[in-house]
Amino acid sequence: MSIPFSGTLRRSGGVVSAIGKQLKGVNLKAAKRITVKFDPFGDNVTHTRNFLHYISSSKVALSNPNCALKTEVVCDRSEPTVDVTLLPSIAETAKIKNVTIKSGNLTCLEILQLLNKHVSSLAPVEQPVSTLQTKTEKKKTKKK
């Protein structure tokens, strides 16, 4: 008797590619302000600082240029948090004003996954822009 194959055909890309995949899905159109608060001398702060680095990149900022990113560095041994304040129009429909992620025991990948799950899913869907057809394209569609 043979044992059936129960694995993948190739290895996964790893944590870096998973973070890149999550960053491509970040949509901040539902967010008004993102506040990242952490104590640099506390434990488990590196993932929150890495999240701050990723979220402040220009590609993520282009998804909503009006979204303010604020960093609060405190020295009171508090747990690192990520607070996302939603736009008033989104807050009325979703019946929540802000989303707070306590990131003390989370990795950077998990913080990005939670951000995509709770904030990016609330973003309004863009309507596809209709393209203009040239005369030659119209003639080609009529002939078919």
Span 14-23, average pLDDT: 92
- The three-class DSSP label of residue 71 is strand
- Listed in sequence order, the DSSP H helices in 56-134 are 58-61, 88-94, 108-118
In this prediction, residue 144 carries a pLDDT of 65
In this prediction, residue 133 carries a pLDDT of 77
Asked whether the predicted pLDDT for residue 1 surpasses 70, the reply is: no
Span 64-91, average pLDDT: 94
pTM given for the model: 0.79
In this prediction, residue 104 carries a pLDDT of 93
CA distance 71 to 49: 10
In this prediction, residue 142 carries a pLDDT of 77
CA distance 90 to 71: 23
Give, in degrees to the nearest 5, the angle at Cα 72 between 67 and 98: 50
Asked whether the predicted pLDDT for residue 3 surpasses 90, the reply is: no
Q: Which of 9-23, 58-72, 108-122 has the lowest mean pLDDT?
A: 9-23
In this prediction, residue 131 carries a pLDDT of 74
Backbone dihedral angles phi then psi of residue 70, each to the nearest 5 degrees: -120, 135
Using one digit for the tens of pLDDT, what is the confidence trace for 38-49?
Answer: 999 988 899 999
- The three-class DSSP label of residue 40 is coil
Residues 6+ apart with CB under 8 A from 128: none
Residues of the chain with pLDDT > 70, as a percent, come to 96
What are the strands of the beta sheet with 98-102, ordered from one edge? 68-73, 31-38, 81-86, 98-102
Span 124-131, average pLDDT: 74
In this prediction, residue 132 carries a pLDDT of 76
Q: How far, rounded to the nearest angstrom, does the alpha carbon of residue 124 sit from its chain's CA centroid?
A: 14
CB 102 within 8 A of CB 81: yes
